[in-house]
Amino acid sequence: MSERIVALLVVGILLSVPAAAEPQLLWGDTHLHSSNSFDAYLNGNQTSDPATAYRYARGLPVVHSGNRARVQIQTPLDFLVVADHAEYLGVMKTLVEDGIPREDLGFVDSAIAYGLEWYIRRAVDSDGGPAAFATVLPDTNDVQAAAETKLGFTIPGSDAISSTVWQQAVEVADAHNRPGEFTALIGWEWSSIPAGANLHRVVFTSAGADVAKQFHPYSSTDSNYPEDLWNWLDETSAATGAEFTAIPHNSNISKGYMFPAETRLRGTPIDEAWVKQRAKWERVVEATQFKGDSETHAALSPDDPFADFETYEFYIQQGPSDYKAGEADYVRSALRTGLAIEERIGFNPYRFGLIGATDAHSGVSSAEEPNFWGKFARDSTPESKPARSGTGGRTSWSMSASGLAAVWAEENTRAAILAAFQRREVYATTGPRIRVQVFGGTGFEAGAEQAPDITAAGRAGGVPMGGELSALTTAPSLLIHAAKDPKSAHLDRVQVVKGWLADGKTHEQIYDVAWAGDRQAGSDGRVPQVPDTVDRETGAYTNEHGAPTLSALWTDPAFEPDQRAFYYVRVLEVPTPRHSLLDAIALQVDPSTTGYGPSIQERAYTSPIHYRPQE
């Protein structure tokens, strides 16, 4: 056969292979509660069921479960996970509205069922739902001892109720799933909270209702230990073929148990099996949401002028307890801890990507500051926000109107979205849809940040966010491009957050790599704060000090080939009004009475790119 014929055959084969689809940017919420969640129902959400949640996310107007107003998202989502608590799934709603089925109950359980129906209905009718909710919360401060006791109390017939509600919920998800247009992902929340240590995980799958009906969501009534959840995921995935991912959230209130360095919740040492199993199932964490921001804390990152952001210091428990920020509670310090564990054990359990989500319990995913409808149905109006609830004096103004999950996926389908989570090509924002691309490597051409096709330039020279670099002999560079949300503010700056391990200790440093205007970096490398233009009387602001896009090609000036490291990008907007200021203006009260500053700098956090030396 002649060389010409061979060449033609090769060309024909290449032309017949479909080109790989370029990732597209999708926006969604992986953490939304409907009236099927017991705490949502007890806190006033008796009407926003999963179908309502999907309709709102898709951009349709719905009736708010608390204030009964017509509400609508400003920009529809591309995907949604209705992640109702697996604990007592649908039980409160069924108990109040239909009663506990008596067919399989004996005399004693029937009597208990009657008493519970009377108590819960009376609590709901008298607006005493929050007090009823508090009865299932832990009343001890001993986390490890509390973990040995499963959550809550027995409700006769609750397993049968939850099973029926789960079957209905997955059918509703399938009914709203529109591949290529809107993805309804099937999931739930595992809500372990021993002695107020928040260890919650959202779990979702790419499977449809036909597969999801073969299992029942694992809950903290089964076990409070994360490794038991992972074991269940191992077994269920093998038995059904379903793929899962588990997403920790609110590490900021985990009391030092979300990202341990040496000892796990059971009090035994972290070992290789624990590390590998966690890394298998938990490839992404929720870095920001209604109950505060978990990127870092001012006490842990004292040299970071932007660390004190939407700090939430209220544990979910019956009695008050002083808040203490620890390294095992925050994402940045956990990423640093992961480097040290990898050095010690040989594997990194905390090489995770970052996303944002809402954790709304009202059935409406509202992460927009001027269109924020509160966490629960009962705190959706300015008049209801000042009421103190829970422990430590929390008000509804303590909630952050955050966040969203940004996903670089080949298509808007269940399988493609889960695949993006598994490879960590995702990032978090605190609400605005800031478009961010980050690639790391050593093969970028000079001026690549000005390339007309950043995606092509990035993939030609490196790996995307969530990727890994290894055994480099020259310093890696990050190719970064950020663009503002067309409906939100201009951008202030782009920063690179680096963490590394040297001489057995972990370190961090923040670099300003691109910024708006003619500000100059000081001798310490820091760029001055952007002016705050938010008008305290009207809530208006200007974009005069920001830029619509910012790009950079940054090379690590302190790279050492033998040091483990990670790099992630933080993008900040110029200051905009916080929802509490807008409420204060509407109420005609002094904004300081809300207890929160009038403005915030919304932001995005990308998934890290890790560097691993030659082993």
Q: Do 414 and 439 fall into the same domain?
A: no
Query: How confident is the model at residue 615, as a pLDDT?
Result: 75
Q: Residue 447 is encoded by which pair of tokens? A: 């001026």
Query: How confident is the model at residue 605, as a pLDDT?
Result: 98
| pLDDT per residue as tens digits for the range 123-151 | 888 877 776 666 666 667 889 999 998 76
Last residue in a domain, options 400, 428, 456: 428
Query: How confident is the model at residue 198, as a pLDDT?
Result: 97
| pLDDT per residue as tens digits for the range 439-482 | 999 999 999 999 999 999 999 999 999 999 999 999 999 999 99
| pLDDT per residue as tens digits for the range 272-284 | 999 999 999 999 9
Query: How confident is the model at residue 4, as a pLDDT?
Result: 47
Rounded to a whole number of angstroms, the distance between the first and last alpha carbons of the chain is 47
Q: Do 466 and 343 fall into the same domain?
A: no
pLDDT band at 10 (very low <50, low <70, confident <90, very high): very low
**185 in Cβ contact with 205 (< 8 Å):** yes
Interval 255-261 mean pLDDT: 97
| pLDDT per residue as tens digits for the range 98-122 | 999 988 888 888 888 888 888 889 8
Is 31 among the domain residues? no
Q: Do 373 and 444 fall into the same domain?
A: no
Query: How confident is the model at residue 137, as a pLDDT?
Result: 64
Query: How confident is the model at residue 20, as a pLDDT?
Result: 57
Give how far Cα 259 sits from Cα of 50, 232, 430, 576, Å.
31, 20, 22, 32
Q: Do 160 and 206 fall into the same domain?
A: yes
User: By C-alpha distance, which of 452, 286, 434, 439 is closest to 355?
Assistant: 286
Query: How confident is the model at residue 537, as a pLDDT?
Result: 97
Q: Do 386 and 471 fall into the same domain?
A: no
User: By C-alpha distance, which of 564, 567, 569 is closest to 505?
Assistant: 564
C-alpha angle 500/506/511, rounded to 5°? 50
pLDDT band at 232 (very low <50, low <70, confident <90, very high): very high
Is 528 among the domain residues? yes
Q: Which domain holds residue 459?
A: 435-612
Is 348 among the domain residues? yes
Last residue in a domain, options 378, 405, 428: 428
Query: How confident is the model at residue 321, as a pLDDT?
Result: 82
Q: Do 465 and 526 fall into the same domain?
A: yes
Q: Do 270 and 323 fall into the same domain?
A: yes
Three-state secondary-structure class, residue 109 = helix
Percent of the chain at pLDDT above 90? 84
Q: How far apart are CA 255 and CA 127, in angstroms?
A: 31
Q: Do 409 and 454 fall into the same domain?
A: no
Helices 272-281 and 226-240: crossing angle, nearest 10°? 60
**604 in Cβ contact with 295 (< 8 Å):** no
Q: Do 283 and 384 fall into the same domain?
A: yes
Find the farthest-apart pair of alpha carbons in the chain and give their distance in angstroms, rounded. Answer: 89
Query: How confident is the model at residue 15, as a pLDDT?
Result: 39
| pLDDT per residue as tens digits for the range 144-198 | 999 998 766 788 889 999 999 999 999 999 999 999 999 999 999 999 999 999 9
Flag whether pLDDT at 368 surpasses 50: yes
Q: Do 121 and 59 fall into the same domain?
A: yes
Query: How confident is the model at residue 16, as a pLDDT?
Result: 43
Flag whether pLDDT at 53 surpasses 80: yes
The number of distinct structural domains making up the chain is 2
Flag whether pLDDT at 431 surpasses 90: yes
Last residue in a domain, options 428, 449, 481: 428
Flag whether pLDDT at 47 surpasses 50: yes
Give how far Cα 510 sits from Cα of 234, 271, 494, 507, 525, Å.
38, 32, 10, 11, 9
Q: How far apart are CA 348 and CA 371, in angstroms?
A: 39
Indicate the range of 14-28, 272-286, 289-303, 556-570 predicted with least confidence: 14-28
Is 13 among the domain residues? no
Q: Count the neighbouring beta carbons within 10 Å of the beta carbon of residue 45.
A: 30
Per DSSP, helices labelled H in 241-330 are 272-281
Percent of the chain at pLDDT above 70? 94
DSSP β-bridge partners for residue 423: none
Query: How confident is the model at residue 127, as a pLDDT?
Result: 79
**418 in Cβ contact with 204 (< 8 Å):** yes
Interval 200-224 mean pLDDT: 97
46 DSSP 8-state letter:
S
Q: How far apart are CA 604 and CA 491, in angstroms?
A: 11
Q: Do 442 and 409 fall into the same domain?
A: no
Give how far Cα 441 sits from Cα of 10, 492, 501, 564, 611, Å.
31, 25, 19, 15, 10
**492 in Cβ contact with 461 (< 8 Å):** no
Q: Do 400 and 451 fall into the same domain?
A: no
Is 478 among the domain residues? yes
**161 in Cβ contact with 90 (< 8 Å):** yes
Interval 582-608 mean pLDDT: 97
pLDDT band at 531 (very low <50, low <70, confident <90, very high): very high
Is 8 among the domain residues? no
Is 334 among the domain residues? yes
Is 545 among the domain residues? yes
